[in-house]
């Protein structure tokens, strides 16, 4: 992947394959701990599931993480419980809390949310925001840290910059 920007509260990079999108997720998942929330956004087919598959792997999940669109919420066992939410069918934070339970974000677990922009008002203020966009050579991925803990995660994130050709 090619890193195009890195600061205390943001990282931007370009992933040129699904494997690179997963690798970025895995690197982030490796530095997450219980209580961390990763909000993922981007248009249809941008790579949100792909990224969360990597995130789960990095967080120690060994079973298969698939797209839960029709299910909304799946729980996996990792270093700590890992929750995968797909908010595609939800409109607003209230619908999310109704679907998954209001206590989800106060549990000692890691939560990854696809289509997080649809339920943003229910997400904790402390979170990482990952936005994926189509680019000519793959996907532009922008990672933004909201809050002290999120900035700490970002500073621990180890990425190898491969500028490619």
Place of tokens 């509260």: 9
28 alpha-carbon distance from chain centroid? 8
Q: Where do the H-state alpha helices sit in 36-124?
A: 48-58, 93-100
* 98 Cβ contact partners less than 8 Å away, ≥ 6 residues apart: none
- Cβ 48 to ligand ATP shortest distance, Å: 3
* Interface region with ligand ATP, contact rule CB under 6 A, candidates 41-49, 97-105, 145-153, 157-165: 41-49
Q: Tell which one of 28, 37, 38, 46 touches ligand ATP (CB under 6 A).
A: 46
The answer to whether the beta carbons of residues 120 and 91 sit under 8 Å apart is no
Q: Single out the segment in contact with Mg ion by CB under 5 A; choices: 7-15, 62-70, 96-104, 123-131.
A: 62-70
Nearer to ligand ATP, 6 or 16 (CB): 16
How many amino acids of this chain bind ligand ATP (CB under 6 A)? Answer: 18
């Amino acid at each position: 992947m090619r890193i195009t920007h890195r600061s205390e509260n943001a990282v931007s990079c370009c992933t040129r394959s699904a494997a690179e999108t997963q690798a970025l997720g895995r690197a982030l998942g490796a530095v997450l701990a219980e209580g961390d929330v990763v909000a993922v956004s981007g248009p249809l087919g941008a790579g949100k599931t792909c990224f969360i598959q990597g995130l789960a792997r990095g967080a120690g999940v060994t079973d298969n993480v698939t797209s839960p669109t029709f299910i909304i919420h799946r729980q996996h066992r990792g270093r700590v419980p890992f929750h995968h939410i797909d908010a595609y069918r939800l409109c607003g934070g209230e619908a999310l809390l109704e679907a998954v339970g209001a206590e989800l974000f106060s549990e000692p677990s890691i939560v990854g949310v696809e289509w997080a922009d649809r339920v943003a008002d229910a997400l904790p203020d402390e979170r990482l925001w990952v936005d994926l966009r189509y680019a000519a050579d793959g996907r532009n991925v922008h990672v933004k840290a909201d809050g002290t803990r999120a900035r700490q995660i970002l500073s621990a994130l180890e990425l190898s910059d491969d500028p490619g050709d």
